[in-house]
Structure 1
Amino acid sequence: MGASQSLFSTVHQNDPLNFRVDNATNYQAVSDFLKFDKAELAKIAGVRETSIRFDNKIPADLRERLDQIANICSLVAEYFDGDSYKTALWFKTPNPMLGDVTPRDMIRLGRYKRLLKFINESRSAYASQTAETKAENANA
């Protein structure tokens, strides 16, 4: 993977889970995808539970965090070719690479940066492995 590819690989290339509507993120859809309740969203964003809303008065901290979560979900969905079922299942399944914690819980517990790093490292390794396989097949 070239330097420019890895530089931009931290952001999803398309919208496989349809989180964008009219050129804006549908924050309710992001929350619904991972089945976060208001208490969990408040903890994730560091805001009061009573301030949780998804209209144009959404708290800035919640908006920022949900944009990051939407990106994480979309990066994983790209790996699964946009399959929302497989993507949701991945987020709900304890992962031994994450200490047997579910990726959803990593986000819920505020460890989304560690999760994003894990996803990006995995995507990079997968891209390198795929490139090597293609090169071997071309030389065969």
Structure 2
Amino acid sequence: MPKLHPYEEQLDPLGFFQHGHPSRERVLEWFGLSESQAREIRKITPRDGPGLEPQDSLIAQLAYLANAVTMALAADSSKAHQWFLTRNPLLGDVAPLDMIKLGRIYRLETWIENARRDASD
């Protein structure tokens, strides 16, 4: 397997991607989700990414969100994991993982992107 460029490693601190594709097993394990939960989330999540199968799109989104939060927390994967499990008053007192399970992944993604943008301003 070719070694990732250092910039790519920075974008994937959790090491989910291999050859440009997220490892389904690693992503689901990190989030503590089963295959059946992933299928259910996919059914209730409204849209897909371009050129991806629906399940691949979900896995790519989850990998992106986990990596984005991990990078925002100084590459501390345990803090990032805990963040997804903890109820957040800024998200309506719902845990981010619960938002994902409720099919609100795009709303969560928008919130994370806005928070990262606000932090960099």
Classify the TM-score, shorter chain: 0.7 to 0.9
* Aligned pair partner of 1:38 in 35, 47, 50: 35
In the aligned structure 1, how far is the partner of 2:20 from the partner of 2:106?
Answer: 25
Q: Determine helix, strand or coil for the equivalent of 1:46.
A: helix
TM norm structure 1? 0.70
Aligned length: 105
Structure-1 residue corresponding to 2:74: 81
In the aligned structure 2, how far is the partner of 1:100 from the partner of 1:37?
Answer: 24
In the aligned structure 1, how far is the partner of 2:24 from the partner of 2:74?
Answer: 22
Gapped regions of structure 1 (runs ≥ 5): 1-12, 48-58, 129-140
* Aligned pair partner of 2:12 in 6, 11, 15: 15
TM norm structure 2? 0.80
Please, what is the CA RMSD of the aligned residues?
1.7
Structure-1 residue corresponding to 2:65: 72
Q: Percent of counterpart pairs with the same letter? A: 31
Pair 1:116-2:109 in alignment? yes
Gapped regions of structure 2 (runs ≥ 5): 1-9, 45-51
Deviation digits for residues 99-132 of structure 1 (CA, Å, limit 9, x no counterpart): 111000111110011001110111111111xxxx
* Stretches of 4+ aligned residues off by more than 2 angstroms: 21-24
In the aligned structure 1, how far is the partner of 2:41 from the partner of 2:53?
Answer: 13
In the aligned structure 1, how far is the partner of 2:43 from the partner of 2:34?
Answer: 14
Pair 1:62-2:62 in alignment? no
Structure-2 residue corresponding to 1:132: none
